[in-house]
A and B are shown apart, each in its own frame.
Chain A
Amino acid sequence: MSERAPAAPIDLKAEVRRAFAPNANAANDAGATTSDLSIDEELNLHSIGWEPVELVSGVSLFSIPYGSWNWGQGEIATASVAHERAFRGAITRLHHEAARAGGHGVVGVHIERVVHATHVEVALVGTAVRPVGAKTISFDAVFVSDLSARDFTLLMIAGWEPLGLATGASFVFAPRRSMGTVLQQQTQNVELTNFTEAMYSARESAMERMQRAALDLHGTGVVEVKVVEGPTRFAMHAVGFVAWGTVVRLAKAEHQMIQPMMVVPLNDAKVDFDAATLA
């Protein structure tokens, strides 16, 4: 990363003519790359000296054993474990693909995650990136992040680095209410503490797992944490809480203040008028 003066405005018409001139394309020596990044994202990466290398993906499906959702007590450990292993399996495959392609990390990972009664599916797609022209690094050193290329750029400018994806999931049974309690509560507005407590229990387990995963990656925190919570559609007596985000740590001696510039748009305010005044 280096501070450079902004380039002079480009003559677009001349650039287009140059692009299709008979002897154009002389600079095409970098080899084929594939990416799902937009041109803005690629320019963002380029501004900090990084480049896209390859579109990579990772998939995993883990079974949830029969009978796991039958009403019981406490955590549905098999479902939580299946979720964690499916995520880990997909991330590992993404790691391998990125390392093979010469990437130092994967940014903008799209996460598709479906929990069925009988299995968990996780599919990840992202773009492997590396510092321009950098050599291949070991599989272990490759990071996976669901941050967009823009957010990755901002993070790096601020002196931080992504280390990987951390996830945590927990599925918990809401304890049964006794028939007496049901009859007693039927005509009242009343909090169903069995569900509230089940949600808190799932939340604590899932968040704890995600934060422990962050520590395992030697991170100091998790950014852009996404949370999905609520009852499972095939087992309304169970609640689930899933959290994931990108693990980060300070790469420089201290946080770099980005000092954003304040801007005031000078666009005209929207002008509204009453059609009746046109008469």
Chain B
Amino acid sequence: MTQSTTYDAIVVGSGISGGWAAKELSEKGLRTLCLEAGRPIDPAIDYVEHVPAYERPFRGMGDRRYLERYQSVQRRCYACDEWSGKFFVNDLEHPYTTPEDKPFAWIRGRQVGGRSIMWGRQCYRWSDLDFEANERESVGVDWPIRYADIAPWYDHVERFVGLQGNPERLPQLPDGQFQTPWPLNCAEARFRDAVRARFGGERVVTNARVAILTQPLGGRQACHLCGTCERGCATFSYFNSVHCTLPAAQATGRFTLRPFSVVHSVIFDPRTRRAAGVRVIDANTRQALEFRARVVFLCASTLESARILLNSSTPEFPNGLANASGELGRNLMDHIMGGGARGVVPWLADRKAIGNRPGGFYVARFRNVKARHPDFVRGYGFQGRAFRDGWSRGQSGEGLGADFKAALIRDPGPWTFRVYGFGEHLPSPSNRITLDPAIVDAWGIPALRVECAYDDNAKRMLKDMVVTASEMLEAAGATEITPIEENNPPGLVIHEMGTARMGRDPKTSVLNAWNQCWDVPNVFVTDGACMTSNANQNPSITYMALTARAADRAVELLKRNEL
């Protein structure tokens, strides 16, 4: 037996994109239902950022046996620790397959707020260098939008998010609506100046642009510098759905949030050629339910949104809903991460920073901005910080006895730099997801087969990251420079994008310039699935801007009776 309830809009997912869809659609007058597959979150209970290590059973080392058994994939993410592990899925309940030679680490959070609870909070605008790249190089398809189309929406979301940053007037990294950032610590400031002296304006070190308040905003307090945002935030200082967008939606009186609602598929009405609603499996009772609405926003995350469409086949769309182009599931990308360097500096040993600032410095993309690089197209940015190891260096360092102990208590150790790159991964139709015919998840929904690998362009970029990071550390006078050259599987960066790309032509893309399915115009996909290329910037702020823009469009079309 099924139940049916009707709304103006259904939003699937309550993470960073779903939260924005919920807020914008409700505020613009639509009775909106948000379906979240996971459990509710109560900040008073679930936020644990102030729980000290000695109150955890393994003092922060993690419940290794549990992790190995139930979170063998999730545990590869740094944030899946003894505090925040509960915000990551149980891998046994969420199976997926890959070819043996193409590992993919799919990092997921299923709860109200999704991964916005433990996201990295770094926000960098894209520029026309990014939006025009596919067309310029004849790679994939052209983006149907340019920077001018999205710029006002970046403004709109950044004002609500609360983003700190330093204006740099770089064409490849546009400035945003910034709160005054925390200053770089003295070691980082010296590094910035040394890089400027050596590389002129070519390589620019700036403050990390992070969605963390330095001034109060909309009832949220300025950050109190405890440093572990991925565990929650008692003062609501960093941006997430739970304490920002969902309460705003709730305040309209038109919003309903339904946790434990696993969306199975979209219901297609062949008579109107529109979506009629969605099929849901109640996560606790396993009851099949149906919810109906005039418009559906898929914001379930890149792979989950595409999975829902793939699982919504009809006689009209035998290969997945809205897949007349055959592009649904294709062109999966993730940034390539893990090239860079570490180094120790001999200076400023008598100076330290006070406060656990979550965020360090950022080096804006400098490859293929002006001069063309001979080895690869596109580029990368660096995230980094300067820190002092404190007592933890005693775990592997030499020494014992009273002097050893006293030094670990008194002396924070030398300033150490870590400069870590994130580079672009070109879209390719062979990097794709399909439904695995043999495997279902804990709710009986077909699981995904993920086939994705980095191309040679990305691998050459990773090698260049090692060289340029080392050069910058050397310019700053670092010693003991150690290259970082990791071999991470795609997925682990958690910037997965593509699988339902936007484009200008329904024959070669799934979504139009408004994130609207060409084939089923009342279905919008506004999470990472929509991305036509992946640039090198952390993508969440772009999902937020595209979501707000698409919601505005959807409401306008509804008013004109054009959906």
Q: Do A and B come from one complex?
A: no
